Amino acid sequence: MKKDKLNDKIRNLMDFEKSDFFVMEERIDVTLQMNYFKMVRKFKGILSTDELCQQAIEILSDENAEANEKQMVIAGLAASGDVEAFRIVEKYREVADESMKEWMTLAYYDLKLKIESKLKDTPQIFVSTGLGGRDGKLRYFFVLFPTEELVLFSESHQKFIESEVTYLLEKNEGIAENFEKNVRYISFEMLYPFHDNLEELIEKLLEACNQLGPIILDKFIVTNMKRMNEMEIFDFLVNGDDFEEISRMEDTDNSETDLK
């Protein structure tokens, strides 16, 4: 992982006030999110709100309407930032089929924040990642590897690392989740406060795990884009590809910061 690049992204995220942010909890594929925001920008200002709402009701009520038609009218509603558009999205989100649930969820939060922004006269920043978050915390996926000298993690190593990671996160207002341990790597998810310094936490984590001697390789994976499967993890090990933390921010006037 290229630490300097990751640190720049984290510092960019921390430039905003805490009250400006909304962290989406749901796990939604990053590619779908990018397609959603791209379509919303495309529809901004094209139709009047009345036209959009009427068209949306007709298409969303039509069982035979194509998925791309529904996506387009939902994006149009989201682009409007209108209260009536929000009510339509809120209503149809509850009955949407599985293929539209995530698109509806993005539009729901997008519109909600745009309306709140107008009421508060303060831009609200919509933070969405592939792994979601909770209570102002982002969820990250970590993978730790044994050093070349150690080669494989023993059962005692695995228990020790899980214990140290869990303890460290509890001390720093974080939460460790979903450990997967084997001799070749240890993966886990963590929830960590959005505004806290991730770089410092990573350094503490490596130091804690290596306090009895070097067992953790200084090459590791940290991302909030997705939970990687075993094949992707081994591909990283073999090819040395960078798999870095990616966050996405969309402010409520639709000017986007995409931290890739």
pLDDT tens by residue, 14-30: 555 545 778 899 999 99
C-alpha 113/C-alpha 42 separation (Å) is 19
Tokens in use for 18? 């805490």
Residue type, 102: E
**Cβ proximity of 75 and 36 under 8 Å:** yes
Q: Are residues 38 and 122 in the same domain?
A: yes
142 and 239 fall within a common domain = yes
Statement to judge: residues 45 and 81 lie in one domain: yes
Q: How high is the pLDDT of residue 9?
A: 53
Are 149 and 121 contained in the same domain? Answer: no
Q: Residue 79's CB: how many other CB atoms inside 10 A?
A: 25
Residues 145 and 243 in one domain: yes
123 and 149 assigned to the same domain: no
Q: Do residues 251 and 126 lie in contact, with contact meaning Cβ atoms separated by under 8 Å?
A: yes
Does 85 share its domain with 181? no
pLDDT above 50 for 2? no
Q: How many helices (H) and strands (E) does the chain have?
A: 9, 9
> Residue 257's pLDDT is what?
36
Strand ranges for the chain from DSSP E = 21-23, 125-128, 133-134, 137-144, 175-181, 186-193, 221-223, 247-251, 256-259
Residue-wise pLDDT tens digits, 65-92: 999 999 999 999 999 999 999 999 999 9
Q: 164 in a domain, yes or no?
A: yes
List of residues 6+ apart from 40 with CB closer than 8 A: 75, 78, 79, 110, 254
Q: Which of 123-127, 133-137, 148-152 has the lowest mean pLDDT?
A: 123-127
At 115 the pLDDT is 92
227 and 154 together in one domain:
yes
Contact between 10 and 249 (Cβ < 8 Å): no
Given a cut of 90, is residue 117 above it in pLDDT? no
- Given this model, what pLDDT does residue 15 score? 53
Range(s) of the domain holding residue 82: 25-128
- Judgement on whether residues 117 and 139 belong to the same structural domain of the protein: no
Report which of residues 3 and 122 the model is more confident about.
122
Q: Which of 102, 33, 20, 28 minimizes the C-alpha distance to 67?
A: 102
- Verify that 98 and 174 share a domain, yes or no: no
**116 and 168 assigned to the same domain:** no
Rounded distance between C-alpha atoms, residue 154 and residue 240, angstroms: 24
Q: Is the pLDDT of residue 126 over 70?
A: yes
Cα separations in angstroms, 139 against 118, 156, 211, 235: 29, 27, 26, 23
- Asked if residue 252 has pLDDT above 60, the reply is no
Which of 128, 144, 172 is the C-terminal boundary of a domain? 128
31 part of a folded domain: yes
pTM (2 d.p.): 0.79
Q: How many domains does the chain have?
A: 2
Which one of 128, 147, 177 terminates a domain? Answer: 128
Strands 125-128 and 21-23: parallel
Same domain, 62 and 116: yes
Alpha-carbon gap, residue 99 to 33, rounded angstroms: 14
First and final CA of the chain: distance in angstroms? 13
Residue, of 208 and 14, whose pLDDT is higher = 208
**Residue 98, SS3 per DSSP:** helix
Is residue 186 within 8 A of residue 144, CB to CB? The reply is yes
> Could you say which of 113, 128, 143 is where a domain stops?
128
